[in-house]
Amino acid sequence: MRIPFLFVLFLPLISYSQIKLEEIPRLDTKTALKILVACHEESLGRSVDVAIVVLGIDGRILASSKSEKMDPGLYDFAKFKAQTSCFKGVATEELPARNGNDLEIMDIGNLKVIRGVQGGIPLYYQGYVVGAIGVSGAKPEIDKAIALKGIEKLKNLKSHK
């Protein structure tokens, strides 16, 4: 008796409520490339070699670059910074290391979470986290400045409807 009653009760709710994913703003590849170019230009202006990673909300890499002179590990570090910022919704520097050091790296499943270092910045648009930028390879304050330069290009993001 309960099952038919619950079915009748929840049928209108299921029928008339819809999740409209197309209304949630998304970071597209075109905008991600603009962000990447802005970050890259800032790194050239500062004469530093850095790895830059721009992620979408689902954690996929939409745009990235790495100087050929760099260790591949720095690219991974930039990716981890971006993933952490996207996953947590805050800059990596706002997540203090809990191990008594300046830096903490934790494995959470397939995700590496980086705490206590600058260079990972979440991208917000219309109140939603739509992605993140990760920069690695220079001094921490320069990594952060380069990532912040990329945020200026976020104004061009449009909602997909």
What is the structure's pLDDT at 22?
Answer: 56
Is beta strand 111-115 parallel, antiparallel or unpaired with respect to 104-108? antiparallel
Q: Which 8-state DSSP code applies to residue 57?
A: T
What's the full length of the chain, in residues? 161
* Cut 0.95: pTM above it: no
Task: Name which residue leads in pLDDT, 10 or 53.
Answer: 53
What is the structure's pLDDT at 159?
Answer: 38
**153: helix, strand or coil:** helix
pLDDT digits (tens, 9 = 90+) for 57-76: 888 999 999 988 888 888 98
Angstrom distance (rounded) from CA 119 to CA 84: 11
Range from 49-58, 89-98, 134-143 carrying the lowest mean pLDDT: 89-98
Contacts of residue 123, defined as CB under 8 A and 6 or more positions apart, other chains included, come to 27, 35, 129, 130, 131, 132, 133, 151, 154
Beta bridge partners of 105: 114
Angle, helices 29-45/140-151, rounded to nearest 10 degrees:
140
Q: With bands split at pLDDT 50, 70 and 90, how would you rate the model's confidence at 8?
A: low
| Residues 112-137, mean pLDDT to the nearest whole number | 86
Task: Name which residue leads in pLDDT, 95 or 63.
Answer: 63
Residue 1: is its pLDDT beyond 70?
no
Residue with tokens 């203090």: 96
What is the structure's pLDDT at 147?
Answer: 93
What angle (nearest 5°) sits at the alpha carbon of residue 95, between those of residues 52 and 102?
Answer: 85
Percent of the chain with pLDDT over 90: 39
